[in-house]
Amino acid sequence: MKSARNSLPRFPDRHDAAWLALPRPRSLSHPSLSHCLRTMSPVRKIVPNKTAFFVCDIQERFRLVIHAYPAVIATAEKMLKAAKLMDVPVIATEQNPKAAPPRPNPHAPKTALVALGATVPLPLLDLPSHLRPSWVPLAKTKFSMIVPQVEQQLKEWETKSVVLMGIESHVCVLQTALDLLERDIDVHVLADGISSCNGDEVGIAIKRMRDAGAQITTSESILFQIMQDAAHPGFKAMAGLVKEHKEMTKDALEKLIAGRGF
């Protein structure tokens, strides 16, 4: 009488023809699998010479409605000055800055778009042309910053890491982060550089971005990660910038991060 064990089908040996005929898993280079493996990695360090700063929709119209907006603006100002010191390229966008054009057909439906105004005064124009494309700041209607023009620029720069700041954390910032992660670009979100109209949205958005694989950090931390070494030729100037913005940085940390538990 056959034992129950002997009646079980034999799993093919790896040298058998049956084994060789088994379907193989997709290559590890497959985008979705590559993304999963990347987000599981415990260490995702910034790549200094392949990094870009993203300034998302820091516009005048939001000045009176965004939680702790002056702190967001101060962080962006510091990061743009640092970009010039460390030769980091910058992309900045504006969400629907101008009113919609007149309707050629009076019977056409009215647009729901509202003009949100230009970018607040930031040292964008102080950046040399190789760090700021001529079309920056770029007007957009899409919530994410990843529009065709930006995507092409990222390819030309061979960008591996993006430092993200701006508003609103749960809309444009979140969607930008997710789109970048989907393209296998590491995202470093400045907790002292993002906000929303409703301050309670920020913590939820940060958790969503972190769960997707983004790194949550601060402006000062990321600047020294990019610099890496006190022997860096720009260290003295960077130390001076950090000192210059010391009180503004402290204020941003207190208003945007304190008590959020991250």
Q: Which two tokens stand for residue 48?
A: 């200094």
Point out the catalytic residue in the list 56, 81, 140, 186. Answer: 140
Residue reference for tokens 């620029």? 153
Catalytic, 172? Answer yes
**DSSP 8-state class, residue 172:** I
Cβ neighbours for 154, distance < 8 A, ≥ 6 positions apart: 52, 183, 185
The string over 67-98, giving b where at least 16 C-beta atoms fall within 10 Å of a residue's C-beta and e elsewhere, is bbbebbbbbbbbbbbbbbbbebbbbbbbbbbe
Q: Which of 56, 57, 81, 186 is catalytic?
A: 57
- Is 192 part of the annotated catalytic residue set? no
Say whether 16 is catalytic: no
User: Which phi and psi angles does 176 have, rounded to 5°?
Assistant: -65, -45
| Catalytic residue of the set 78, 81, 84, 172 | 172
Q: What is the CA radius of gyration of the chain?
A: 24
The residues that are catalytic are: 57, 140, 172
